[in-house]
Structure 1
């Protein structure tokens, strides 16, 4: 039986999932706010829809839904526009994935969190995410799965790109720890959940190796044969308000559930293996 994924807010992570599904015979429909992306999405095997739009017809054909759109001050943009259509479609959908963030846990002063930890974000962005998660989980009959993603990196996004653009900073803040995840591991977690659905379940998606951000930047610079950027105290760093807000939370995120329940074996269990692989992929594309 053919499967159709409706990807709402089709971006970086969703496209890597589509790259797995399309060769398996899936139909993928993806919404985007940028019409100039249509040609690229079509070449990648995705049927583009310009958002905002009426997704009733797409929902009627979808067996699976992935939503990546972040909430704003007025709540979740997808539910605001299409909740009635989603409720109507709920009985026929086999799986719905909501991409959230580990930011919902707030600050734990470098301590460990798992999916049972309280969600106590101090930032407005994190508070909106907690509310959006509940909005999706509260839709009766909708087979929702929540994926709390750590900091995402992959080809074209991450420390190499920042170093090459000359915008990387080695920001030093005492006891600052982040968890991370490679985009290919996000995609394999989503596919594993699609294959073994468990509606209502929440999964952390991250690697095994939380590290201070300056450690990752320094290692990436060494791999590129560059001098690491000079160390800058957090208080003096030139950062956007959003980038600065990420430093308000320090925690290590556990990922046991994706392994024990979904059988996932991470392709990139730590940042060093991921960065080496990314460089090798770049070299292969150049030859």
Structure 2
């Protein structure tokens, strides 16, 4: 866990879903005043029950919510997820949503702005170790949208402290796709198991966000991944053993349409978290999938 300097007095969270709700809960426990925006009415009700200062129901990419924000906030966290609908949904959520927040933020006195992007912007393969300086020009179309959204910060000269956190594959309480895949897979897993899964536990994401909004860290882009990427076969074999099930058998012939568009397999790359560990005074509480899933199991 990071050692924070001083959490801001107030934080507003945009796209307050899985990550945002966990962040809001933690901040409230620390005495921080929290506001949030979500497009989901059920999610909004849950946030109000948590005790947030204000909860706004709106589409992030519109400007209608700008006048609905009553409070003033020291820090902004944008952890929106895709609105669905393929590439158009990506552009609506990530690009138009980001622009809308920045338009609103110009009238505020924002001390720090955090955007949770994704390590999917990296096109590298072949077992390469990937840090924040890696070439992203060959990113897939969805990754290109995220890169465009990140690039909006370069034009926002009024933001001295901005942070792009490129998150690896998220897992944690209530989100354990691999565990479900082993339980429901009847021994056969679609696709291949010979590529690295770069993962990050929900608690470690919250800790990284708190580290950057607490002040003192250099602005810029940070990879947020655990210390121990492992192949999908290694992870699922471990989980199967932990559950008392037989080792999974992968079927490379059975691939999803999404994977077919990516050449039939996921890229094999190792995401480095060295910059975040050194610059943010942040260490994953769950350094590998073993520690993370041990708690979930």
TM-score normalised by structure 2 residue count = 0.83
- 23, 29, 34: which one pairs with 2:29? 23
Between the aligned partners of 1:104 and 1:172, the Cα distance in structure 2 is 22
Report the counterpart of residue 229 of structure 2 in structure 1. Answer: 210
1:169-188 alignment runs, 5 A limit: 170-171=189-190, 173=192, 175-188=194-207
Please report how far the alpha carbon of residue 115 of structure 1 lies from its aligned counterpart in structure 2 after TM superposition: 1.2
- 117, 122, 132: which one pairs with 1:100? 117
Report the counterpart of residue 249 of structure 1 in structure 2. Answer: 267
Please report how far the alpha carbon of residue 57 of structure 1 lies from its aligned counterpart in structure 2 after TM superposition: 4.8
Please report how far the alpha carbon of residue 14 of structure 1 lies from its aligned counterpart in structure 2 after TM superposition: 1.6
Q: Secondary structure at the match of 1:170?
A: strand
Cα deviation per residue 1:181-205 (whole Å; 9 max; x = unaligned)? 1111011111111223446311110
Cα deviation per residue 1:57-92 (whole Å; 9 max; x = unaligned)? 538511111112257245613234444222222xx1
* Structure (1/2) with the larger helix percentage: 1
Distance 1:154 1:243, change over 3 A: farther
Report the counterpart of residue 10 of structure 2 in structure 1. Answer: 4
Structure 1 regions of 5+ residues with no counterpart?
280-287
Report the counterpart of residue 146 of structure 1 in structure 2. Answer: 164
Between the aligned partners of 1:207 and 1:228, the Cα distance in structure 2 is 24
Q: Secondary structure at the match of 1:37?
A: helix
Asked if residue 264 in structure 1 is aligned to residue 271 in structure 2, the reply is no
Report the counterpart of residue 130 of structure 1 in structure 2. Answer: 147
Between the aligned partners of 2:260 and 2:27, the Cα distance in structure 1 is 33
Conservation of the 8 A alpha-carbon contact between 1:99 and 1:147: yes
Q: Secondary structure at the match of 1:98?
A: strand
Runs ≥4 residues deviating over 6 A: none
CA RMSD between the two structures: 2.6
**Between Structure 1 and Structure 2, how many residues are aligned?**
275
Please report how far the alpha carbon of residue 139 of structure 1 lies from its aligned counterpart in structure 2 after TM superposition: 0.8
Please report how far the alpha carbon of residue 226 of structure 1 lies from its aligned counterpart in structure 2 after TM superposition: 2.3
Conservation of the 8 A alpha-carbon contact between 1:70 and 1:77: no
Please report how far the alpha carbon of residue 179 of structure 1 lies from its aligned counterpart in structure 2 after TM superposition: 1.1
Between the aligned partners of 1:244 and 1:168, the Cα distance in structure 2 is 25
TM-score normalised by structure 1 residue count = 0.85
Conservation of the 8 A alpha-carbon contact between 2:181 and 2:189: no
Cα deviation per residue 1:151-183 (whole Å; 9 max; x = unaligned)? 111112122233345499635547522211111
Structure 2 regions of 5+ residues with no counterpart?
1-6, 83-89
Please report how far the alpha carbon of residue 129 of structure 1 lies from its aligned counterpart in structure 2 after TM superposition: 0.8
Q: Secondary structure at the match of 1:115?
A: coil
Report the counterpart of residue 284 of structure 1 in structure 2. Answer: none
- Is 74-83 or 5-14 further displaced after alignment? 74-83
Please report how far the alpha carbon of residue 55 of structure 1 lies from its aligned counterpart in structure 2 after TM superposition: 2.9
